[in-house]
Amino acid sequence: MERNEAALRSNIMATMICNASSAHSGCLRTKRSRVAAGIWIAFAFLVACDRANSPASDANQEKIWEQFSGEKALAHVQTMVNFGPRPPASEAIEKTRTYLTHQLESFGWKVERQSFADETSRGKIQFVNLIATFANGSAPTFLVCSHYDTKTFDTARFVGANDGGSSTGVLLELARVLAPRPELARKAELVFFDGEEAYEAFTETDGLYGSRFFAKQLAAQDKAKQFRGGILFDMVGDRSLTITLPPDSPVEIARDIFASADALNLRKHFTYFDRDIMDDHTPLNEIGIPTIDLIDFDYPPWHTPGDTVDKLSAESLRITGVVAAHYLATRALK
């Protein structure tokens, strides 16, 4: 509160009370009534001022999905793309990590770097997952994930605007939207996976490096049971957005995602895919954490130099984000 505003309120209240108490009347009860009336009027005035100066009403805070900005999410994607291709252990991916960490910390999240090395077809590579939690001492119960690396190409410049960029932009914007609601944010663990892309082809040992390591650590520490479920975002920025849920999606989470999409009149953008997809949700499901993959796999520029920001739209990012935020606020984090 500004000092002059506080002084003004004090003066107004004092004047109201003084005027009420000094009013002429032949009855003590009338004087007391006028004093009481003056106090209540002053109190009502101050309450009205506080409400007017409040950044958001309780009703607005309840609907956090309305705060999600597709433009802000797209701006994050543009920043990442500006760093260039982001293969593991590259200078660009380290710049990306610095950016992600700075953004998350500015929203009030605490960021942990989960570093590890793994054997690949190109030798031992260093990977780094970023894990964000909101409150010290809290035990998150739901995972919200994305990968932020790009596939390694020797002869092509692949910046992964949609593949790795769009999902990370959505996750960063969700971090901002959740932050004003600590009772929700503290139940979420945000995970940014490194090394999702395979160097040759997806196998049990190639690809999903970050999520496989993350899942192994949870299982080894007997922490998988801490999480009741999870969401993974991947390739969610296509201008002609259709989120295609894999057929092996956890039934309850899929049902609730569809329900949130219905509630927001966005159901037409969500359907089922016709075959299973190996993605960062796979290792999580394997250790018993039911995790759904929100992915638009019908994307012609996938793994080509054409996967650039001009293929994305802020509206597609908004659609993904508001449905996810609605689901998180009304179901997963309740």
Average pLDDT, the chain: 86
pLDDT band at residue 135 using 50, 70 and 90 as cut-offs: confident
pLDDT in tens, 173-201: 999 999 999 999 999 999 999 999 999 99
Q: At 309, list the tokens.
A: 């920001």
Q: Where are the alpha helices (DSSP H) in the chain?
A: 3-21, 28-53, 58-62, 70-82, 91-106, 167-178, 182-185, 209-220, 251-263, 281-286, 314-327
In CATH terms, the fold of domain 58-332 is: Aminopeptidase (3.40.630)
pLDDT band at residue 23 using 50, 70 and 90 as cut-offs: very low
Q: Please give the average per-residue pLDDT across 1-13, as a whole number.
A: 40
pLDDT of res. 61: 52
Q: How many angstroms separate the CA atoms of 168 and 184, rounded?
A: 20
Let me know: does 9 contact 16? Beta carbons within 8 Å.
no
pLDDT in tens, 242-263: 999 999 999 999 999 999 999 9
Residue 322, phi then psi, degrees to nearest 5: -70, -35
